[in-house]
Structure 1
Amino acid sequence: MPQIRAARDEDVDDVVALWSLAAENRGRPADRPDLVRLLIERDPDALLLAVDDGEVVGTVIAGWDGWRASLYRLAVAPQHRRRGTARLLVGRAEARLKALGATRIHAMVLEENNDGNGLWQALGYTPQPDWRRWVKAAR
C-alpha cells in the first residue's frame, strides 16, 4: 500500500502531472503549479498524497474553512486504481477534517463520473439533489 502524507513544495510538478492524467478536468480552469504551491503554503496539511516507491499515485484535498469540510481533487493513477488507494486517501482526509471540527463532509464529483460516484457511495456518501453548484471566475 502507498504511504499517505501531506504534499510538499517539491511534489507540485508531480501532482499537476497526475491531475492532467487522472483527475476530472472538464469544465474547470487548468491546474497551475503556482496555485498548488499557494495551497500548500496556506494550509500545509490540506493536500494529501499517496506515494508508492517515491511516485505520487494519488491525491485528495481536504479543505476546511472553519465552517465547511470539502473533499476534492481525489485522483488515483489509472494503474493504481482498485487497490484501496482512494479509500486510504479519503479515510485520512476524513480523519483530518473531523479532528478540525467538521460535522459534515461533502465531496465534489462530476455527475457522469460513474467510477467516482460508485466510490463515494461505497464510502457512505449520498448525493444531495436539492443543491446546485454555482461558479464564477475570480480572475
Structure 2
Amino acid sequence: MSGSDSVDGVARFLARNPGMSFVADAEGMLAGCVLGGHDGRRGYLYHVSVSPQFRRRGVARGLVARTVAAIAAEGIEKIHIDVFADNGAGLAFWRAIGWHDRDELKRFSFTPPSGA
C-alpha cells in the first residue's frame, strides 16, 4: 500500500467507482477485500488481498468474480491487474484463474512534486 491508499484516497476511489469494490467476512473477521473500478474504457483491479488464515478457501476467487461482474455490467470488456514480478503466489493465483501475462507491456509511474 502507498500514500495514495489513505482513508481519503480510498474514499474518493470508492465514490468514483461505486459498487465495484467488496469485502469478504468470514467467521466474524475481515477475510479479504478488493478495490475495483474502471476509467470508462478498461477495468482495473487495484488491490486484492486475503488474510493468510483464509487463503486457499475461494475468498479471492469470489471477490474477483464479483468485481469482474460489476465492471462488466458497466460495459467494460477488458480488465487488468498489476502484480509485482516477485510475487510468486500472486502470479500463480492469477494464472490459475485464467488471467494471462502481458509480456509486451512495461508499466511506468510518475509522482508529481507536491504543489505541482
Range class of TM-score, shorter chain: 0.7 to 0.9
Separation (CA, whole Å) in 2 of partners of 1:61 and 1:40: 8
Separation (CA, whole Å) in 1 of partners of 2:52 and 2:16: 29
Separation (CA, whole Å) in 1 of partners of 2:67 and 2:95: 16
User: Structure 1 residue 36 and structure 2 residue 10: aligned?
Assistant: yes
* Among 96, 117, 129, the residue aligned to 2:70: 96
* Among 99, 103, 112, the residue aligned to 1:125: 99
User: Structure 1 residue 49 and structure 2 residue 23: aligned?
Assistant: yes
* Among 82, 103, 108, the residue aligned to 1:108: 82
TM-score (norm 2): 0.87
Write the mapping of 1:61-76 to structure 2, written as runs, cut at 5 A: 61-76=35-50
* Corresponding residue of 2:55: 81
Separation (CA, whole Å) in 1 of partners of 2:86 and 2:108: 18
- In the TM superposition, residue 42 of structure 1 has moved relative to its aligned partner by 2.4
Which structure 1 residue ranges, 5 or more long, are not aligned? 1-24
Q: Percent identity?
A: 35
1:44-64 deviation per Cα after TM superposition (whole angstroms, max 9, x unaligned) = 323211122443221111211
Separation (CA, whole Å) in 1 of partners of 2:28 and 2:79: 30
1:10-55 deviation per Cα after TM superposition (whole angstroms, max 9, x unaligned) = xxxxxxxxxxxxxxx4xx4463112112222222323211122443
TM-score (norm 1): 0.74
1:96-121 deviation per Cα after TM superposition (whole angstroms, max 9, x unaligned) = 11111121111111111111111100
Alignment check: 8 A CA contact 2:17 2:38 kept: no
- In the TM superposition, residue 89 of structure 1 has moved relative to its aligned partner by 0.5
Bigger drift between 33-42 and 59-68 goes to 33-42
Relative contact order higher in (CA < 8 Å, ≥ 6 apart): 1
Q: What SS class does the counterpart of residue 98 from structure 2 fall into? A: coil
